[in-house]
Amino acid sequence: MTDFVVVIPARYASTRLPGKALRELGGKPMLQHVYERGSESAATEVVIATDDVRIADAAAAFGATVCMTCNQHRSGTERIAEVADLLDWDDQRIVVNLQGDEPAMPATLIDQCAALLDDASADIATLASPLLNDDDLDDPNIVKVVRDVHEHAIYFSRAAIPYAREADNRELSVASALQHHGIYAYRCGVLRRFVAAEPSDIEVCEQLEQLRALSLDMTIAVGVPAIRPGRGVDTEEDLRRAEQDFSS
């Protein structure tokens, strides 16, 4: 597998869970758990990217490398692109975007995501698992993806895709859709091209950044993880559930 680096974009402001990067799980800041997962992977370097001194100080306290970025970014992807420029990474360098609210993303899946870019036809790589139940198909908080025969993304949506026009086809719809996980790998050149482009109409409509990549005719390899990752943390309820997982 080609060498890769991990960047963890982390911000303090969060509408649904303020200061979530520093909220504690099992006696540690959530960000520290994410950093430890990155450090357990095969990455040659793990960097925390932030614009907030509180996060930078906490990260330094547990020994992380920190890159300070500007406070005008609209997304973690833009923050990672700034890191790539600040650290002068070349266009072929592979970067894994390990989001700061994914404390239960196993290191083996970080490696698996990066390895998907061994496929030279792929611009971006990500992971997605089978839906857990029928109701997940209609849940707008669960992002679905459907793939082609090459295991490349056809489309991502918060809606039920593929839509079962006939009731008898509901099982086919559930079986065809995968639940997308918020981890990405890309080459820096692709990353730079992505952030230089304006959001596409479908991205604005669904509020899904990866749809910009499809609009730019980028190929997204979608792998099914070897094990299902734990929950991401977006709300107080998510935090309580994660705390139970880390305490058990």
* Cβ-proximal residues to 34 (8 Å cutoff; 6+ apart), any chain: 8, 10, 98, 99, 100, 101, 102, 103, 105
Q: What is the domain range of residue 33?
A: 4-247
Q: What is the pLDDT along the chain (248 residues), one digit of tens a residue?
A: 689 999 999 988 776 777 888 888 888 998 999 999 999 999 999 999 999 999 999 999 999 999 999 888 889 899 999 999 999 999 999 999 999 889 999 999 999 999 999 999 999 999 999 999 999 999 998 999 999 999 999 999 999 999 999 988 999 999 999 999 999 999 999 999 999 999 999 999 999 999 999 999 999 999 999 899 987 877 778 777 877 777 65
Domain count, the chain: 1
pLDDT for the residue numbered 237? 81
CATH number for position 90 = 3.90.550.10
Tokens of 193: 């091209």
Cα first-last separation, the chain: 34
pLDDT for the residue numbered 4? 98
The residues with which 147 forms a beta bridge, in sequence order, are 153
pLDDT for the residue numbered 238? 77
30 touches 238 (CB < 8 A): no
